[in-house]
Chains A and B, each alone.
Chain A
Amino acid sequence: MSEVILKNIKKVYPFSGGSGNKGLFGKVKKDTGGHRTGHLQMTDEGVVAVQEFNIDIKDKEFIVLVGPSGCGKSTTLRMIAGLEDITSGELYIDGKLCNDVDPKGRDIAMVFQSYALYPHLSVYDNIAFPLKISKVPKEEIDKKVREAAEILDITQYLDRKPKNLSGGQRQRVAIGRAIVRNPKVLLMDEPLSNLDAKLRNQMRSEIIKLRHRIDTTFIYVTHDQVEAMTLGDRIVVMKDGFVQQIGTPQEVFEHPRNLFVSGFIGTPTMNYFDARLEKREGKYHVITNGLDVVLSDDKQERLNANNVEDQDVILGVRPDHLQLCDNGIKAKVDVSELMGTSSHLHMTIDNKDVIVIVPTEGNAINYHGKQIQLTFSGAVANVFSKETEKNLEY
């Protein structure tokens, strides 16, 4: 069992320059000022990097923390790792309060963004390093290193130094070093962000395979929502130090809690329209640009439960949920991009950019300059409050 529980975790970087970064000596220099403070909350104590972070991570669960730069996701990961002090709140690993336990005592491993391999050691010694430190017998070290190398397909590179490896191979070595001692929790801090697009896709699928081979709890940080969607059992979307939503990729994609989550998750980004939400004959309708759509039953249920009143709203519909029709929202296509299996149509409606994904189905049409009409189903419409930007379903 290796559950990780974070209860009301908060991280404040004091103004005085001391970062509270634990590292080796208690206070290690780390660039935490300047750009980080962009939209973060400032208090008398300092800059609040993370606050009100609550999550129960189950044994063997794959959790992905996702958000834009400076949202506090890496800070949270480093607090779990023990590389960063926790200002307040409680961190439990395997039921044990770990706030003041040093990284060594937490039995967790971490894969860093920049690989962080030991340049003076061979691949073999890099992977064996944590076992040597733990004084594991030589024969066992050899067995475990070779096992890990086999899983990651780097057996032929065991004698090489890191400088003689490609980016992808280095990342595998870093993962090997992390998995070789069967940690309770495996932390990964943007492990694929230094790889090129093709290699990133390949490594992503290898991480999925790895996850099935080694039974452990994964906590993965990324700013790439595709990685988040494909890897995570649950994803945690963060912004400005606050958790915006925790849920399965499908939940977060289909029912974003607020405008930020709806825009951050999904490529191309969600389309927004000025709309009016009205309740007529017991049914919620959303009306935009002359189109009147009745929301689906589950949305009706949620809106009813929240007793939502008639109001002006922001309507969000994903590009692949908009459909061409004969009687809907009128628009003129500015740009038509043929993507192979689909075309991306760009247009402007109410001074807002709108993208529609139309499947080509073997018959690619150039929509450039054409007048089209759009509609959507009531099941895919998300209605956000204009004031709070929250999804009215929640």
Chain B
Amino acid sequence: MKNDAKREKTIAWIITIILTATSLAWVLPIVIVLINSFKDKGSIALETFKLPNADTFVGFLNYTNGVNMGNYSFWTCVYYSIVITVLSVGLILVCTSMSAWYISRVNSRFAKIVYALCTFSMIVPFQMVQFTLSSTASMLHLNTPYTIPVVYLGFGAGMAIFMFTGFVKQIPLEIEEAAVMDGCSPVQTFFKVVLPMLSPSLISVGILEAMWVWNDYLLPYLVLDITKYRTIPIHIQYLRGSYGQVDMGASMALIILALLPVVLVYIFCQKYIIKGVAAGAVKG
């Protein structure tokens, strides 16, 4: 008995150490970027992994430099990033949750084909379609921050539908039938009953899609008219000093600024992901 307890404790310690090491390895690049964002330009290249000291510490200078640098306003990039992310995620959530509901509930060949296509779209690499996509997008005038969400809907739908379908299947059909008996039309059933019950999954899918859209570089770079519209990742790529030199300090600072909203949203919404909204709906 005593030996068993001791062995379990040892195993628990080993697991904790392994997981801590893995977590550190995961967080390390972000920590290095954070540390370097407070160092001067010269020391970033020479002493990348060192903590800032009295000579190399520059405070928030990199941040102010980064924000004011270049001939394109950082705040305009923030605006476009927000517009694209909010519109894309909103469009993806509304359209794919509806589609997933239809796919889960309707027993037709069409629904099966749509589901198969969506699942298949997840395995098509973006690089395969990037050039045809960029020319199609510009032909259809999808090359503005207000229309690019349609392109994101196309790319994000696969994973979102795949996830939502699993969630919708967990909702007992009887609840929807109860809504029908209570006089709901299909649209009312979806918005008043199904969608609120999907809220934990809406948040998890929303976070995943938001992180992807917010951080995405290649798609907006290829599709958007960069002379007019830039997102934060594109702006960071274009941060150059007066002689075309890349200002690493400013880049690091802007990367941290770009990361901040995503991390905050994730921390804030974590509890909603865990929360099970269906508890108490049916027997059990």
* Contacts across chains A and B counted by CB atoms under 8 Å: 115
* A-B CB contact pairs (8 Å), 19 listed: A17-B107, A23-B176, A25-B106, A27-B106, A103-B181, A103-B183, A104-B184, A112-B174, A114-B174, A115-B282, A116-B178, A118-B193, A118-B281, A119-B175, A120-B277, A130-B183, A161-B280, A164-B280, A194-B283
The 8 A CB mask of A18-30 against B (1 = contact, 0 = none) is 1100011101111
**Could you say which residues of chain B place their CB within 8 Å of the CB of A27?**
106-108
> Is B278 interfacial (CB 8 A cutoff)?
yes
**A214–B175 alpha-carbon span in the complex (Å):** 24
Min distance, Cβ B208 to any Cβ of chain A, angstroms: 22
**Could you say which residues of chain B place their CB within 8 Å of the CB of A28?**
105-107, 173
Min distance, Cβ B274 to any Cβ of chain A, angstroms: 15
Min distance, Cβ A373 to any Cβ of chain B, angstroms: 49
Smallest CB-CB separation from B172: which chain A residue?
A114
**Could you say which residues of chain B place their CB within 8 Å of the CB of A24?**
105, 176, 180, 186, 189
Smallest CB-CB separation from A135: which chain B residue?
B183
Smallest CB-CB separation from A17: which chain B residue?
B107
The 8 A CB mask of B106-120 against A (1 = contact, 0 = none) is 111000000000000
**A108–B182 alpha-carbon span in the complex (Å):** 9
**A211–B197 alpha-carbon span in the complex (Å):** 33
> Is B59 interfacial (CB 8 A cutoff)?
no
Min distance, Cβ B180 to any Cβ of chain A, angstroms: 5
Min distance, Cβ B89 to any Cβ of chain A, angstroms: 21
> Is A316 interfacial (CB 8 A cutoff)?
no
B174, A119: Cβ atoms closer than 8 Å: no
**A116–B186 alpha-carbon span in the complex (Å):** 17
The 8 A CB mask of B90-117 against A (1 = contact, 0 = none) is 0000000000001011111000000000
**A83–B179 alpha-carbon span in the complex (Å):** 11
**Could you say which residues of chain A place their CB within 8 Å of the CB of B225?**
none
**In the complex with contacts A24-B186, A115-B282, A29-B178 CB distance below 8 A:** no
Given pairs A24-B105, A133-B188, 6 additional interface contacts (CB within 8 A): A25-B105, A25-B106, A112-B178, A118-B175, A120-B196, A170-B280
> Is B54 interfacial (CB 8 A cutoff)?
no
The 8 A CB mask of A145-160 against B (1 = contact, 0 = none) is 0000000000000000
**Could you say which residues of chain B place their CB within 8 Å of the CB of A130?**
182-183
Min distance, Cβ A164 to any Cβ of chain B, angstroms: 7
> Is B279 interfacial (CB 8 A cutoff)?
yes
Min distance, Cβ A218 to any Cβ of chain B, angstroms: 15
A119, B107: Cβ atoms closer than 8 Å: no
**Could you say which residues of chain B place their CB within 8 Å of the CB of A18?**
107-108
**A82–B184 alpha-carbon span in the complex (Å):** 13
Smallest CB-CB separation from A26: which chain B residue?
B106
> Is A246 interfacial (CB 8 A cutoff)?
no
Interface residues on A, range: 35 or more
A25, B181: Cβ atoms closer than 8 Å: no
> Is B199 interfacial (CB 8 A cutoff)?
yes
> Is A46 interfacial (CB 8 A cutoff)?
no
> Is B177 interfacial (CB 8 A cutoff)?
yes
**Could you say which residues of chain B place their CB within 8 Å of the CB of A164?**
280
The 8 A CB mask of A114-147 against B (1 = contact, 0 = none) is 1111111000000001100110000000000000
Q: Which residues of B from 225 to 284 have beta carbons under 8 Å from A? A: 277-283
Smallest CB-CB separation from B194: which chain A residue?
A24
**A177–B183 alpha-carbon span in the complex (Å):** 12
> Is A110 interfacial (CB 8 A cutoff)?
yes
> Is A167 interfacial (CB 8 A cutoff)?
yes
> Is A72 interfacial (CB 8 A cutoff)?
no
**A81–B183 alpha-carbon span in the complex (Å):** 12
**A110–B182 alpha-carbon span in the complex (Å):** 9
> Is A165 interfacial (CB 8 A cutoff)?
yes
Min distance, Cβ A180 to any Cβ of chain B, angstroms: 10
Min distance, Cβ A166 to any Cβ of chain B, angstroms: 10
Smallest CB-CB separation from A18: which chain B residue?
B107
> Is A162 interfacial (CB 8 A cutoff)?
yes
Smallest CB-CB separation from B108: which chain A residue?
A27
B173, A163: Cβ atoms closer than 8 Å: no
**Could you say which residues of chain A place their CB within 8 Å of the CB of B172?**
114, 116
B177, A116: Cβ atoms closer than 8 Å: yes
**A82–B178 alpha-carbon span in the complex (Å):** 12
**Could you say which residues of chain B place their CB within 8 Å of the CB of A109?**
181-182
